[in-house]
């Protein structure tokens, strides 16, 4: 099919709207396609291809010998990226992950369930006090991660608002495309803000958390640089906040959009883990995940994606692949394979915080269905126009006690 008949992945209507039909068209007609000429990124959209690229242990985040894109320069953003576990290659990625990894397995995540549940209860008390009409993003989803992140990173509650005010701007560091000068300057400014904040936090923390003590011990042993300590602290905040906030918002949106779903989960709370997985599948918080190939990849339709190409793995499209998820547009909390979604990535860079994200999402959904009898939209929602992170900006809702 001519590329002119394919969806425009830069179209603002696509970026903020329902992507199901556009993704179906890509999977059916162009499951592996470049976004332009001469070294432009490719997009793969079928489940089998997304999984193959993500699980390829030879794929990279940067070309060999490079640790940051040239367009980023050498300022604070490049410093932050070079120490960002999410965007580093082996052996740096292995070293960074080895320091913090033991704190993010399933068992430590379960130990934080009580903190997540307590924060949900506090925030739902505030929602009830407002009369049940609130913004699901700013009044609930953006607040719930405080309970867990307070234990992990140790920042006081009064710092929360300042830390989140520039969070969306920081996501530009994940851009697979060169940023315009103005945005690049803003990214440097935001990266410096976070480096300064966490350096200052270390200076005024009398009792470091287990995570922070682990980082400082690794720095003292020569296993981490100071930039890496600060970056890992921010990575925990960034990843722990962004995915959780986005997915709690998405779960609430799903409840408002799917008649009967809230009642079904209220009647059987054993479905809570299932509705969390369906939320992650239907509304992946990270829609595209970049990788750089070190060998040719032959896609499921026979298209050869060349070695050296940047590939955007369309997790959002793979999660809707009919060959894996029958009736993919249906939100079924009893779907037996919902957990096979690609929303937490895969391979060496599989999301370290996935168990902890699931715990927080489950507690948020459980709190909602136990506390309220109904939930419905109370106004127009809006999303950020992003190919990778189209998170909800606002979601007015109404609940009944």
Q: What are the tens digits of pLDDT across the range 282-339? A: 999 999 999 999 999 999 999 999 999 999 999 999 999 999 999 999 999 999 999 9
pLDDT band at 38 (very low <50, low <70, confident <90, very high): confident
pLDDT band at 374 (very low <50, low <70, confident <90, very high): very high
CATH number, position 42: 1.10.630.10
Regarding beta strands 382-383 and 392-394, do their DSSP bridges make them parallel or antiparallel, or are they unpaired?
antiparallel
Q: What is the mean pLDDT of residues 180-197?
A: 97
CB 385 within 8 A of CB 283: no
Percent of the chain with pLDDT over 70: 99
Q: Which tokens go with 123?
A: 């925030």
Percent of the chain with pLDDT over 90: 91
Q: Which tokens go with 247?
A: 């997915």
CB 245 within 8 A of CB 142: yes
Q: Which tokens go with 251?
A: 């779960």
- The count of C-alpha atoms lying within 13 angstroms of the C-alpha of 7, restricted to the half-sphere facing its C-beta, is 25
> How far apart are the C-alpha atoms of 285 and 299, rounded to whole Å?
25
DSSP strands (E only) in 15-145: 32-34, 42-44, 133-135
- Mean pLDDT of the residues in the chain: 95
Report the first-to-last Cα separation within the chain, whole angstroms. Answer: 52
Q: What is the mean pLDDT of residues 347-368?
A: 96
CB 109 within 8 A of CB 376: no
pLDDT in tens, 48-104: 999 999 999 999 999 999 999 999 999 999 999 999 999 999 999 999 999 999 999
- pLDDT value of position 401: 86
- The count of C-alpha atoms lying within 13 angstroms of the C-alpha of 8, restricted to the half-sphere facing its C-beta, is 5
Q: Which helix (H) or strand (E) holds 364?
A: helix 354-371
- What phi and psi values does residue 249 have, to the nearest 5 degrees? -60, -45
CB 348 within 8 A of CB 93: yes
Query: Between residues 165 and 254, which one has the greater pLDDT?
Result: 254
Q: What is the mean pLDDT of residues 119-128?
A: 95
Q: Which tokens go with 321?
A: 């692949």
Residue carrying the six token digits 């989803």: 141
pLDDT at 176 over 90: no
**Domain hosting residue 208, numbered range:** 3-400
> How far apart are the C-alpha atoms of 363 and 118, rounded to whole Å?
9
Counting beta carbons within 10 angstroms of the beta carbon of residue 396, is it exposed (0 to 12), middle (13 to 18) or buried (19 or more)? middle
pLDDT at 2 over 60: no
Regarding beta strands 42-44 and 310-314, do their DSSP bridges make them parallel or antiparallel, or are they unpaired?
parallel
Q: Which tokens go with 120?
A: 């949900």
- pLDDT value of position 375: 97
Q: What is the mean pLDDT of residues 227-251?
A: 94
> How far apart are the C-alpha atoms of 325 and 363, rounded to whole Å?
25
- Best CA proximity match to 310, nearest among 174, 168, 186: 174
DSSP strands (E only) in 128-204: 133-135
Counting beta carbons within 10 angstroms of the beta carbon of residue 27, is it exposed (0 to 12), middle (13 to 18) or buried (19 or more)? buried
pLDDT at 201 over 80: yes
| Angle formed at CA 45 by CA 42 and CA 49, multiple of 5 degrees | 90
Our count of domains for the chain comes to 1
pLDDT at 1 over 70: no
> How far apart are the C-alpha atoms of 246 and 316, rounded to whole Å?
14
pLDDT band at 36 (very low <50, low <70, confident <90, very high): confident
């Amino acid at each position: 099919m001519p590329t002119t008949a394919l969806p425009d992945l830069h179209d603002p209507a696509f970026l903020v709207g329902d992507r199901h039909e556009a993704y179906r068209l890509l999977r059916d007609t162009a499951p592996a396609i470049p976004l332009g000429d001469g070294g432009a990124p490719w997009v793969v959209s079928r489940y089998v291809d997304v999984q193959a690229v993500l699980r390829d242990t030879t794929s990279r985040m940067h070309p060999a010998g490079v640790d940051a894109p040239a367009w980023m320069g050498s300022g604070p953003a490049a410093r932050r990226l070079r120490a960002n576990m999410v965007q580093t290659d082996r052996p740096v990625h292995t070293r960074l992950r080895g320091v913090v990894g033991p704190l993010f397995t399933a068992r430590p995540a379960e130990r934080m369930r009580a903190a997540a549940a307590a924060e949900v209860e506090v925030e739902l008390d505030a929602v009830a006090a407002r009369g049940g009409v609130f913004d699901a993003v700013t009044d609930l989803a953006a607040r719930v991660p405080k309970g867990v992140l307070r234990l992990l990173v140790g920042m006081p509650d009064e710092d929360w608002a300042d830390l989140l005010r520039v969070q969306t701007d920081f996501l530009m560091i994940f851009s697979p495309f060169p940023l315009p000068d103005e945005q690049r300057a803003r990214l440097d400014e935001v990266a410096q803000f976070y480096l300064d904040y966490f350096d200052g936090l270390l200076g005024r923390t009398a009792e470091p958390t287990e995570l922070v003590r682990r980082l400082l011990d690794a720095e003292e042993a020569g296993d981490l640089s100071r930039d890496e300590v600060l970056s890992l602290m921010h990575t925990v905040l960034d990843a722990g906040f962004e995915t959780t906030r986005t997915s709690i918002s998405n779960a609430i949106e799903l409840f408002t959009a799917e008649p009967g779903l809230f009642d079904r989960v209220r009647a059987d709370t054993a479905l809570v883990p299932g509705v969390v997985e369906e939320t992650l599948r239907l509304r992946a918080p990270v829609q595209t995940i970049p990788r750089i190939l070190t060998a040719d990849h032959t896609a499921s339709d026979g298209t050869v994606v060349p070695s050296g190409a940047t590939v955007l793995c369309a997790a959002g499209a793979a999660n809707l692949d009919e060959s894996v998820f029958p009736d993919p547009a249906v939100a079924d909390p009893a779907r037996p394979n919902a957990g096979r979604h690609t929303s937490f990535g895969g391979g060496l860079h599989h999301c370290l915080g996935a168990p902890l994200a699931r715990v927080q999402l489950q507690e948020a959904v459980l709190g909602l269905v136990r506390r309220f009898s109904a939930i419905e939209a109370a106004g127009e929602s809006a999303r950020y126009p992003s190919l990778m992170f189209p998170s909800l900006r606002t979601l007015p809702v109404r609940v009944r006690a």
